[in-house]
Amino acid sequence: MTSRRSRISLAVAVAAVILLAQVGINIWQHAAGGTRYFAWAPNDYLVTYDLQVSAGGRPLTPEEIQSRYRLDLTNRLGEDTKAKLRLAKVERYVFEDPPQELKDRIRRYEQTKGKHDAARVTLVYQFDGGREQTWLWPS
C-alpha cells in the first residue's frame, strides 16, 4: 500500500516537474529574445520570405533547398496577395514561427552537416508584414 502510494506520488511529482519546466522554458524563451522553442506560441508568427542558396558555387533548386533545411517551400504567395499586403516581390514562402528560428535552423545546419559545402545563403523576409530584411550566411 505504502509503495503504491509513493509510486503514485512519484508520478505526480514527475508531472509537476514537467509542468514547472514548461513555465521555466516559457520565461527563458521570452527573456532570451527571438525564439519560442518549446514555449507556447501556437501559430503566433508569420514570416514571408525568399531563400536563395548556393553550395560549392552552384545555385540550389527550391527542391534541393527544401530537402536541405526540411522547409515547406510550397509557393503560397500569389502576386495579388503580395500586392495587397505590400510584400516584397521576391517573397514566395511562408514560415509560421519567429524568424530567428528559421535563421537558427539554416545556421546550425551549415555549421554541422553542411559545413564542407561552402554554402552561401540569402534570406529576404518580412515579419508580420513589417519592413523587408535581409539575412546572409556566412554573416
Cell of 66: 527544401
Q: In whole angstroms, give the CA distance from residue 82 to residue 44.
A: 20
Give the nearest distance from C-beta 43 to another protein in angstroms.
6
By beta-carbon proximity to another protein, the closer residue of 45 and 137 is 45
Give the nearest distance from C-beta 123 to another protein in angstroms.
16
Torsion angle, alpha carbons of 30, 41, 95, 59, to 10: 40
By beta-carbon proximity to another protein, the closer residue of 2 and 57 is 2
125 φ, ψ (degrees, to nearest 5): -150, 160
**Strand runs (DSSP E) across 1-139, as ranges?**
47-55, 58-59, 93-95, 120-127, 132-137
Check: CB of residue 135 under 8 Å from CB of residue 123: yes
Give the nearest distance from C-beta 104 to another protein in angstroms.
7
By beta-carbon proximity to another protein, the closer residue of 57 and 139 is 139
By beta-carbon proximity to another protein, the closer residue of 57 and 79 is 79
Residues that bind another protein (CB under 8 A): 8, 11-12, 14-15, 18-19, 22-23, 26, 30, 36-46, 48, 69-71, 76-77, 81, 84-85, 94, 101, 104-105, 108-109, 112-113, 127-130
Give the nearest distance from C-beta 73 to another protein in angstroms.
12
Q: In whole angstroms, give the CA distance from residue 123 to residue 50.
A: 6
By beta-carbon proximity to another protein, the closer residue of 13 and 118 is 13
